[in-house]
Amino acid sequence: MKDIIILAIETSCDETSVAVIKNGREILSNVVYTQIDLHKKFGGVVPEIASRKHIEKIDLIFTQSLEESGLNFSDLDAIAVTYGPGLVGALLVGMSYAKALAFGLGIPLIPVNHIDGHIAANYLAFPDLKPPYIALIVSGGHTHIIDVLDYGEYEVLGRTRDDAVGEAFDKVARTLGFPYPGGPYIDKAAKDGNKEAIKFPRTYLEKDSFDFSFSGIKSAVLNYLNSMKMKGIEINANDVAASFQEAVVDVLVEKIIKASLKMNHKEIIIAGGVAANSHLRKRLKEEAEIHYLDVFYPPMSLCTDNAAMIGAAAYYQFKKGIFANLDLNSVPNLKL
Amino acid sequence: MKILGIDASTQTAGVAIIEDEVLKSEIVINNDITHSQKLMVIIDQVFKNLDMTLDEIDGIAVTIGPGSFTGVRIGMATALGLSRAKDIPMAGISTLEALAMNNKGFNGIICPMQDARRDQIYTAFFKFENDELIRLTPDMAISIDEFIDRIEKYDESILLAGPDADKFYDRIKAMNNSDIQLVAFNLGIPRPSSVAYVSRNREFGKIIKPNYVRKSQAETSYEEIHGKSVFDD
Ligand SMILES: [Zn+2]
């Protein structure tokens, strides 16, 4: 069978990325330009600045990625692009560029849901992984438990009702004085802290619900910090980080294990930026082993936003003939 | 020489193909549609109108602002993608300059203006000399009061041009006693044919840069607080 080569573009937030993917599983190139150092200075992503950086870099990153892949235009079977969810101005840069490229080259345009990409990141890391399985998507924008029935076919079992888990990490990190994005700093600080030091609440919601709520624990941490300040007691940031992280991971692990047992799937994948959290990885692995479940998570480089994962997801759409017309629009609040 | 002109920098979106000094086809859409949805569709349509393909295009001219930040980027990203696919050189054109070009034949100072909000307009002054468009000022964001001060220095007729000229016409006319005229209804919006036409004596290349004129709000606040640019290390 002829190889299918897809060039994928991702600009949904603060990474400008272009990748070339073979048969949905093999990375020929994956160039990621991250603007993170710029947004750090603001303590979060500034949409207008992100968009300005995307338009400045997109053509350069494209050229570099195609060059690294060692291929030519004539080798490409399709152009894939993230069309949501994400920051609208940022999405529009990648999408307008992708549409024009596909039109100019006379090849199909594949519209990819960013979350679908995070799931598909695992196909790049694990060549034998196939649906069905349970997926936990955890990032700054999303907290989902998904029953992955087939490639690109999902049933959402649960989602956050307020903050995304990554958002909670970032907010707590900020109050502890860590730089943006705070997730990795919490992870690091927690390693030197006592996770039993402070008892933060775990929100499980209704029995049998796979939904999440992280606003309670976020406020609990803020309240704790305030009351310590009022009493003039110096806090131990490592202990706060460890206790907060433990509480969040408790809920995530319990729900994902429950969901996979309920759906009778043997495999769990985790994806999204928070999948890089070392404590989540360790705890989930331990808990899964008890129940004879296998856990997969992509390497760090594929956890954060990148175009390779978009190219992996696009491959399965290519096979089904799911293409976009020239009037495709970006959908900032696109659902899975 | 066939040039594809593209504009998405204001509320209208437009595409045209000119060949030397002949306009072959032009489409302009002026309603509330999102440019991201329609721009590529009308590019396709203009080619279909002429039974032409992108391969026949020698250069792409695109507006780079000032205007809507997002619109500027949609036009530019589209031009970049087309240019890359067929290795066609590009020229970035000031939206204000393209707006001035719409009024070829006017004898006096042409002042395209766009509402830049925060009590300012994007504007620049132009005039035609021997049929050539001459730029008298750089593109700028200034207040209406400053605009009035500036036009008072000219003895010639003044044409208020651009998409938002009618919004400010009465106020400017009331405060200034020189000859102030208002642009014709169909010449106040950017015309992609004018964008392509302006590019005739430009150098085409592989790189285009946006002409936002204004920094982003976040950038400005950062500078006020830190006394240096966010792009400095
Ligand atoms: Zn993401």
Taking only the tens place, the pLDDT of each residue in B165-197 is: 999 999 999 988 789 999 999 999 999 999 999
**Any residues with CB less than 8 A from the CB of A105 and at least 6 apart, and which?**
A73, A76, A79, B85
Which band of pLDDT confidence, cut at 50, 70 and 90, is reported for residue B31? Answer: confident
pLDDT digits (tens, 9 = 90+) for B37-71: 999 999 999 999 999 999 999 999 999 999 999 99
Contacts of B54 in chain A (CB under 8 A): 103-104
Task: Quote the tokens at residue A95.
Answer: 């999408």
Q: Which position has the token pair 């309670």?
A: A216
- Over the range B176-200, which residues count as b (16 or more CB within 10 Å of their CB) and which as e? beeebbbbeeebbbbbbbbbbbbbe
pLDDT over 90 (residue A53): yes
**Given this model, what pLDDT does residue B96 score?**
98
**Given this model, what pLDDT does residue A211 score?**
97
Q: Of B94, B80, B77, which is closest to residue B36 (Cα–Cα)?
A: B77
Contacts of A327 in chain B (CB under 8 A): 37-38, 40-41
Of B44, B76, B81, the CB nearest to A98: B81
**Given this model, what pLDDT does residue A27 score?**
98
**Given this model, what pLDDT does residue A283 score?**
97
What does the radius of gyration of chain A's CA atoms come to, in whole angstroms?
A: 20
Which band of pLDDT confidence, cut at 50, 70 and 90, is reported for residue A336? Answer: confident
CA distance A159 to chain B (A): 30
Q: Does the distance separating the beta carbons of A327 and B73 come in below 8 Å?
A: no
- What is the SS3 assignment for chain B? CEEEEEECCCCCEEEEEEECCEEEEEEEECCCCCHHHHHHHHHHHHHHHHCCCHHHCCEEEEECCCCCHHHHHHHHHHHHHHHHHHCCCEEEECHHHHHHHCCCCCCCEEEEEEEEECCEEEECCEEEECCEEEECCCCEEEEHHHHHHHHCCCCCCEEEECCCHHHHHHHHHHHCCCCEEECCCCCCCCCHHHHHHHHHHCCCECCCCCCCCCCCHHHHHHHHHHCCCCCCC
Cα→Cα distances B212→B9, B70, B102, B143, Å? 10, 10, 21, 17
**Given this model, what pLDDT does residue B154 score?**
92
**Given this model, what pLDDT does residue A180 score?**
87
Give one DSSP letter per residue of A27-87, joined into a string: EEEEEEEE-HHHHHTTTS--HHHHHHHHHHHHHHHHHHHHHHHT--GGG--EEEEEEESS-
Which band of pLDDT confidence, cut at 50, 70 and 90, is reported for residue A275? Answer: very high
What are the residues whose beta carbon lies below 5 Å from ligand 1 (ion)?
A 139, 305
**Any residues with CB less than 8 A from the CB of B225 and at least 6 apart, and which?**
none
**Cα–ligand 1 centroid distance for A93 (angstroms):** 17
Q: For residues A245 and A169, what is the distance between their CA atoms, to the nearest angstrom?
A: 8
Q: For residues A20 and A225, what is the distance between their CA atoms, to the nearest angstrom?
A: 47
What mean pLDDT comes out for the span A34-45?
92
Cβ of A210 under 8 Å from any chain B Cβ? Answer: no
Which band of pLDDT confidence, cut at 50, 70 and 90, is reported for residue A150? Answer: very high
Of B39, B84, B219, the CB nearest to A62: B84
Contact B43, A328 (CB under 8 A): no
Contacts of B218 in chain A (CB under 8 A): 42, 46, 48-49
Per DSSP, what are the bridge partners of residue A16?
A: A33
Q: Does the distance separating the beta carbons of B218 and A62 come in below 8 Å?
A: no
pLDDT digits (tens, 9 = 90+) for A193-208: 999 999 999 999 998 9
Cβ of A83 under 8 Å from any chain B Cβ? Answer: no
CA distance B138 to chain A (A): 22
Q: Which position has the token pair 């319990």?
A: A254
Contacts of A101 in chain B (CB under 8 A): 81-82, 84-85
Q: For residues A85 and A68, what is the distance between their CA atoms, to the nearest angstrom?
A: 28
Of B37, B75, B82, the CB nearest to A104: B82
pLDDT over 90 (residue B201): no
- The complex's ipTM? 0.97
Q: Does the distance separating the beta carbons of A104 and B84 come in below 8 Å?
A: yes
| Three-state secondary structure call for residue A220 | helix
Cα→Cα distances B116→A47, A118, B164, B166, B214, Å? 19, 39, 10, 14, 9
Query: Angle A183-191/A278-290 helices, nearest 10 degrees?
Result: 70
Q: Does the distance separating the beta carbons of A104 and B86 come in below 8 Å?
A: yes
Measured CA angle at A59 (ends A54, A64), to 5 deg = 115
Sheet holding A267-271, edge to edge: A153-159, A143-150, A133-138, A267-271, A294-296
Of B41, B77, B84, the CB nearest to A96: B77
CA distance B179 to chain A (A): 40
CA distance A234 to chain B (A): 29
CA atoms within 13 A on the CB side of A266: 4
Q: How many CB atoms lie within 10 A of CB A128?
A: 6
Across the A/B interface, how many CB contacts are shorter than 8 Å? 108
**Cα–ligand 1 centroid distance for B27 (angstroms):** 37
Contact A334, A113 (CB under 8 A): yes
What mean pLDDT comes out for the span B135-151?
96
pLDDT digits (tens, 9 = 90+) for A24-33: 999 999 999 9
Which band of pLDDT confidence, cut at 50, 70 and 90, is reported for residue B144? Answer: very high
Q: Of A8, A6, A5, which is closest to residue A81 (Cα–Cα)?
A: A8
pLDDT over 80 (residue B33): no
- The DSSP output letter for A232 is T
Which band of pLDDT confidence, cut at 50, 70 and 90, is reported for residue B232? Answer: confident
pLDDT digits (tens, 9 = 90+) for A71-116: 999 999 999 999 999 999 999 999 999 999 999 999 999 999 999 9
Whole-model pTM over 0.90: yes
A291 Ramachandran zone, left/alpha/beta (phi>0; psi -120 to 50): alpha
- The DSSP output letter for A2 is -
Cα→Cα distances A49→A52, B69, B219, Å? 5, 11, 8
Q: Which residue of B has its CA nearest to A73?
A: B85
Task: Quote the tokens at residue A185.
Answer: 């700093």
Cβ of A327 under 8 Å from any chain B Cβ? Answer: yes
pLDDT digits (tens, 9 = 90+) for B123-142: 999 999 999 999 999 999 99
Q: Which helix (H) or strand (E) holds A296?
A: strand A294-296
Q: Of A238, A322, A305, A237, which is closest to residue A90 (Cα–Cα)?
A: A305
Q: For residues A268 and A213, what is the distance between their CA atoms, to the nearest angstrom?
A: 21
Q: Does the distance separating the beta carbons of A99 and B81 come in below 8 Å?
A: yes
pLDDT over 90 (residue A325): yes
What does the radius of gyration of chain B's CA atoms come to, in whole angstroms?
A: 18
CA distance B84 to chain A (A): 7
Of A41, A55, A95, the CB nearest to B76: A55
The one-letter amino acid code at A223 reads N
Which band of pLDDT confidence, cut at 50, 70 and 90, is reported for residue B233? Answer: confident
Contacts of A42 in chain B (CB under 8 A): 218, 222, 230
Q: Does the distance separating the beta carbons of B222 and A42 come in below 8 Å?
A: yes
> How does the average pLDDT of chain A come out, rounded?
96
Percent of chain A residues topping a pLDDT of 70: 100
- Over the range B68-90, which residues count as b (16 or more CB within 10 Å of their CB) and which as e? bbbbbbbbbbbbbbbbbbeebeb
Q: For residues A4 and A18, what is the distance between their CA atoms, to the nearest angstrom?
A: 17
Q: Of A21, A34, A4, A2, which is closest to residue A301 (Cα–Cα)?
A: A34
- Segments of A85-237 assigned E as strands: 109-113, 133-138, 143-150, 153-159
**Cα–ligand 1 centroid distance for A270 (angstroms):** 13
CA distance B74 to chain A (A): 6
**Given this model, what pLDDT does residue B88 score?**
98
Contacts of B86 in chain A (CB under 8 A): 104
pLDDT over 80 (residue B32): no
